Structure 1
Amino acid sequence: MVRGGSYRISGIKVPVVLVLLIGIFVLACSTVTPVPAEPTPSIDATAVVEPILDIDATVEARLAYERAVDATVQAKVFGTLSAPEPKTPSTTQALCKLTGGEMVQSGWTGKDTGNNPCNSCFCTNGVLGCTKMACPARGVSPDSKPVPTPQIAPTSKPLAITNTPYPPPTSTPTSVPTATSVPTPTPRPTPTYTPQPTPTPTPTPNSSIEGFSIYFIDVGQGDATLVVSNDGHSLLVDGGRSKTRIRDRLSALGIQDIDAIAATHPDADHIAGLTEVLAMYKVENVYLNGGQSSTATHADFLDAVEQEGAIVSTLQMNDTFNLGAMVIKVLHPYQLTGDSNVDSLVLQLGCGDVQVLLTGDSEIESEQSMLSENVLQDIDLLKVGHHGSRSSTSQAFLDVIQPEVGVISAGFDSQYGHPHVEVVNRLNAEGVQIFETDTTEAYDDTLKMTSNCQTYEIGGQVFVPVSSGASPIGGNVSPTATPTALPTPVPTPIATPTPMPTPTIVATSTGTSNLSIDCIFFDGVVSRTESDEYVRIVNAGETSVDLSNWSLKDVADGSPTFTFPGYTIAPNETIRVYTNEVHSESGGFSFGLGSSIWANSAPDTAALFNAEGQEVSRKSYPPSC
């Protein structure tokens, strides 16, 4: 029975025993001490090795710190974070401070700020290194501060462990900073530099009215001065005698518009050309001195002014008028005397430190009037009065105005001897550099003066005005003031003309085959146009002369010029060249001009040139033919 009972117990208990053994095994496994995880290999052989147990906490703390640094730099550079900077452990990478005060991380490269916006810089371990670079040559204000482009590494890059010691984390997990203890900025794109608009350049002294040009036009024995302000307005003071010459000169200069004209006085060598100017341009204002003349030239001029429909103003001392934004002051006449030259308008114009005096044909009596009224001041450039005649430019006048430069407008080989040697010597003694128009016969010797209101240039030379303390317009210089020493002009006083062949002048008494100008019929019968004026030429020799390509020219004004076609003048034959008529019985020659050539008020001179350009005869008047 025992045997049978034991078998039965064993049969019953086997499953129980198995369950019990499995449970013991599981219990034993749950109480075994875990084997430590294999340490993470070191990234940097020089790095401080942290305790193996807390390496994850260290990495987590470093990541949190890096995010905080990123947020702080972003807030300082772009000002986009409104939250206060969190307190963080000491930086893993030292920051650099740009000249303008911005902070950038180690590893940043870009342009400096503050006073050095053009320097190329880089930040390494807290040390800022820069390479000096020249700024681009454009009108950018030095106060313009471009925002630097910090090269901030994204937080997702692998953590670079440095040899900077950090406080070792404790084994208490709560002592390690977590992501929730540091404000984590919203992920953002890498900042890009937005180009700043280029500042508007500061206007230079040569913008708007701050600058002007003056053309002293070569019109032969006469005056014509064109003033052009930098704001686009123009004034022509006088127009010379020859309508053809003033037209050609203005056309050559490319002048498209003239706003105003001023006639200093009614003499033909100042106003005859203005009649042509009124026909060429729409002139809005005409300025006169109020003087009268009985000549046909003056009557033609007044008719042209009336037809133009311009506003006519009569000027006198202390009047002012505007050329755009430029103010022009009238210094003379105080009152009319009845003498055409003495009553000439005298105008002062300019801007800033540069002042110009235009004197027309004013004479010593005019200068004394201005001195007595105390309207003169130190000026820089003088248009010498009356073509350099000894009747103008007195020493007392020069003592007050003290010019640096003098411009003389007179004809080539002037029949009046202008400029007179006394005036030239007086100007030279005062250190005045002299420039002349019409210094050559065959070329346009127009002079151009330009100014930026601080300096001026004429004849290829730049002049810096001597400071006088006088106001640009108005104000006076006492006649007893000690003259300021003038700089020695460099180089030669007279502008050197373009080289030209020197014509060989053949004596009038002999001529080529005794060919000569016999006389000039200068006072035509035909009203206004005087088309019946003519020059008479005679061959007093015994041989015929081929006149092909010979020319007849008004040399007092420099134009017009008549060129002969193929024609042979026989011995003892006389021919005529009319102003604007054709008479076959006298050769059939005509200048073909619709206005008078040979002036009545002042004598002109005609010259005859052969085909090689040599002058063979010259004649003036009176007497007439």
Structure 2
Amino acid sequence: MTRLERIRQITDGSRCFARACFWSSLIVTLASLPSGGWAAPKRESGKALEIYFVDVEGGQSTLFVTAQGESLLVDTGWPDSNGRDADRIMAAAKLAGIKQLDFVLLTHYHMDHAGGITELAAQIPIRTVIDHGQNREPQAAATEKVWEDYQKLLGKEKFKRIVAKPGERLPVKGIETKVVSSDGALIDKPFSEGVEDNPACKSSERYPADHTENARSLGVLFTFEGLRILDLGDLTSDMEMKLVCPQNKLGKIDIYIVSHHGTSSSNSPAFLDAIAPRVAVMDNGAAKGGAPASWDAVKNSPRLEDFWQLHYSDEGGAAHNAADPFIANLAGPDAGNYLKLTAWPDGNFEVFNSRSKQTKRYAPAH
């Protein structure tokens, strides 16, 4: 019997005095933590790219702050809930030490991605907004309302607006930002030379065309000193396959922001096998995202080292959730914990879990 098994036997027994149980439980917790790469956060402000994954309860809001001090917010979460999501974004902005948003990128006009922009704009100056153009789902009342509110905000605030097209580079200082997808169009050439046909395409599943705003998502490949970070919003599997078939136009990815919160209409196995991320971060909610099929596709991709989640997924259950140290918000009352990724020019990066106050470091890829 191992030491850990003996401790569990003691704490599971019918006789457990308070002090003994406390210390035994603490030892179990510490013994259960992954050992490799865990450390206190590094402190090298001003030299790194920082990415805050804000908990907006199954929507998306991801704040990038470059080493040159430029800020880019991808999506603004939900509206209402007493301004919950705008407040959480503002908390991340305060942690990052920024007082304005240089860019706000809306991947598409669904409420969980673009619904919070009006409330956010009332709290912090926004210099430039980036979107894919017209709302393509006018028949959906909630989505059309988000679009109409956005148009009113554009008219009122006079932001600079960029309607992004595939293949373009966005003017964010300190990080290369290439548009992969926008308004149903995709890049037509690989990002690197010498790409060969993808043999997995011949046997991969075929997916029906999606006609919602999801397939119109404005997706971006970020590159920081060789570290490649992919965020495709809610891009669906039919569009994913066009990015990797017949050729893999994206290449290998280091950090994958899991598409569509980990729902089953995105994250096809052939796509994950092609981009082969080292680390995945899923901005799911307890009751939204984290579908087992999607989770498996990410988890089983060939190079994956770790899978981070903003929430424990109720749908995933015990078999389809990461270990506790990799989850910002465990089952139970809403706590709004965030994840933070910090990357340095030498290729090292780390992920910090604000719930556990634990950080895991990653060496450059070889």
TM-score, normalised to structure 1, is 0.39
The number of equivalent residue pairs is 258
Partner of 1:404: 278
Tell me, in whole angstroms, the C-alpha distance in 2 between the residues paired with 1:334 and 1:271.
15
Deviation string, structure 1 residues 178-200 (Cα, Å, up to 9, x no partner): xxxxxxxxxxxxxxxxxxxxxxx
Equivalence for 1:461: 360
Amino acid at match of 2:120: V
Structure 2 CA distance, aligned partners of 1:226 and 1:250? 8
Equivalent of 2:233, from 354, 360, 381? 360
The equivalent residue for 1:378 is 252
Deviation at 1:432, TM superposition (A): 4.4
- Give, as a single letter, the amino acid of the residue that structure 2 aligns with 1:269: D
Unaligned residue ranges in structure 2 (runs of 5+):
1-43, 139-143, 186-209, 312-328, 353-358
Counterpart mapping for 1:217-366 below 5 A: 217-243=54-80, 244-253=83-92, 254=94, 255-292=98-135, 293-294=137-138, 295-333=144-182, 335=184, 338-366=211-239
Q: Measure the CA separation in 2 of the matches of 1:463 and 1:237.
A: 24
Change (3 A) 1:248 1:342: same
Q: Which residue of 1 aligns with 2:201?
A: none
Question: What's the CA shift for 1:259?
Answer: 0.7
Matched-pair contact (CA < 8 Å) for 2:67–2:174: no
CA distance in structure 2 between the partners assigned to 1:310 and 1:356 by the alignment: 27
Where 2:69 maps in the other structure, the secondary structure is: coil
Q: 1:320 to 1:444 in 2, by over 3 A?
A: same
- CA shift, 1:300, in A, is 0.8
Seen in structure 2, the aligned counterparts of structure 1 residues 343 and 334 have a Cα distance that, compared at 3 Å, is: closer
The whole-number CA distance in structure 1 between the counterparts of 2:273 and 2:216 is 22
**Cα distance in 2, alignment partners of residues 315 and 361 from structure 1:** 16
Match for residue 444 of structure 1 among 305, 321, 336:
336
From 190, 213, 219, the counterpart of 2:50: 213
Amino acid at match of 2:125: K
- How far 1:359 moved relative to its partner? 1.6
Question: Aligned-pair distance for 1:347?
Answer: 0.7
Letter in 1 for 2:267: T
From the superposition, tell whether residues 259 and 342 of structure 1 become closer, same or farther in structure 2 (CA, over 3 Å): same
- Cα RMSD of the aligned pairs, angstroms, is 2.1
Shift of 1:251: 3.0
Match of 2:162, SS state, is strand
Q: Which AA in structure 2 matches 1:247?
A: A
Measure the CA separation in 2 of the matches of 1:297 and 1:333: 18
CA distance in 1, matches of 2:134, 2:239: 14
Amino acid in the other structure paired with 2:341: M
Q: Is the 8 A contact 1:211 1:351 kept in 2?
A: no
Give the Cα separation in 2 of the matches to 1:432 and 1:334.
32
Structure 1 residue 291 displacement after superposition: 3.9
Q: Deviations over 1:537-565 (max 9, x none)?
A: xxxxxxxxxxxxxxxxxxxxxxxxxxxxx
Task: Note the C-alpha offset of 1:465.
Answer: 3.4
CA pair 444-369 structure 1, distance change in 2 beyond 3 A: same
Within a 5 Å distance, the mapping from 1:493-504 to structure 2 comes to none
Preserved contact between residue 183 and residue 218 of structure 2 (Cα < 8 Å):
no
Identity value in percent: 27
Find the residue that maps to 1:280 and give its secondary structure. coil
2:108–2:213 CA contact under 8 A, matched in 1: yes
Q: What letter is aligned with 1:266?
A: Y
Structure 2 SS opposite 1:312: strand
TM-score by length of 2: 0.66
Q: Match of 2:59, as an amino acid? A: G
Query: 3-state DSSP class of the match of 2:337?
Result: coil
Measure, in 1, the Cα distance between the counterparts of 2:211 and 2:299.
33
Question: Per residue, is there more helix in 1 or in 2?
Answer: 2
Tell me if the contact between 2:54 and 2:61 (Cα under 8 Å) persists in the aligned partners: yes
1:206-247 Cα shifts (integer Å, max 9, x gaps): 787x63111110000211111100111101110111351222
Q: Deviations over 1:347-375 (max 9, x none)?
A: 11131131111121011112122224743
SS in 1 for 2:126: coil
Q: Which whole-Å CA distance do the structure 2 matches of 1:411 and 1:282 have between them?
A: 28
Q: Deviations over 1:278-330 (max 9, x none)?
A: 22222121111124143222211221122121111111211111212322001
For the residues of structure 2 that align with 1:332 and 1:248, how far apart are their CA atoms? 29
Give, in whole Å, the separation in 1 of the partners of 2:309 and 2:267.
Answer: 16
Residue 263 of structure 2 is aligned to residue 419 of structure 1 = no
The residue type paired with residue 314 of structure 1 is V
Unaligned segments of structure 1, at least 5 residues: 1-205, 468-625
Q: Secondary structure at the match of 2:170?
A: strand
Contact in 2 for aligned 1:356/1:382 (Cα 8 Å): yes
